[in-house]
Amino acid sequence: VSKVSISEEIRSEYEKSVTQLESQSDDISKLVWEYTTLDLHITPVTIKSAKLGAVDRLQFESKLPEHLRNPQNATNTATVDPCLVIPIVIPNPDAAATPVIVGLKLVSVNNPSQRWNYPKEGPTGWVGWNSVLPKSRSVVLTTSEENALIVSQSTGQPCLALPEPGDILPVHLLPSLERFEKVILW
């Protein structure tokens, strides 16, 4: 499991981002909180259970080693880019254990169509696996992270977002769906 988990640099920044959003301690976290609660209508309970975070993407990236940075950001002239931080996880081989975080997806609050994965290349996983309980027998699949959060919040059903753009389900994630009696495509 440790071979696919995220680097300590990314993990440390992620943990800070979760605390930052929960406390709304600065302007970035307040902007992300407003986007998440007012624009997406995601409740504070869902924010906490999904372990969402808030960062200024430019500051976040400046703290990472060069090999973990996203090269498409080199020409960005913005001075601040508040982003919602969403963990990307895979199930732990021990079904009762906490899922393993393999990456982060950052969604720009100013332009939600702009998204970045960290690390930029690496294993893919699920957004929303933390909504899956060991006793869950069905799961809903959606095409976006926001839809997964909203559907899970609205229905109480565990809900996962397809991890790849273009509605692609990577073959290596199929075994994680075998435990479910029903998979609902949203």
Task: Dump pLDDT digits (tens) for 122-144.
Answer: 668 898 888 888 889 999 999 88
Place of tokens 């899956």: 132
40 pLDDT tier (thresholds 50, 70, 90)? very high
User: Model confidence at 150, in pLDDT bands (50, 70, 90)?
Assistant: very high
pLDDT of residue 78: 60
Looking at the DSSP bridge assignments, the partners of residue 138 are: 182
pLDDT at 165: 67
Q: What is the pLDDT of residue 113?
A: 87
Question: Do the beta carbons of residue 131 and residue 149 sit within 8 Å?
Answer: no
**Cα–Cα distance measured from residue 50 to residue 129, given in angstroms and rounded to the nearest whole number:** 9
In DSSP terms, 84 is beta-bridged to 54, 107
Residue 1: the pLDDT is 38
- If 0-12 CB within 10 Å is exposed, 13-18 middle and 19+ buried, where does residue 37 land? middle
What pLDDT was estimated at residue 123? 63
pTM comes to: 0.86
What is the H or E stretch that residue 85 is in? strand 82-90
pLDDT value of residue 142: 93
pLDDT at residue number 185? 92
**pLDDT confidence band for 102 (50 / 70 / 90):** confident
What band does 72 get if pLDDT is binned at 50, 70 and 90?
Answer: low
- Rounded Cα distance between 17 and 53, Å, is 4
| pLDDT of res. 2 | 40
Q: In this model, does residue 9 exceed pLDDT 50?
A: yes
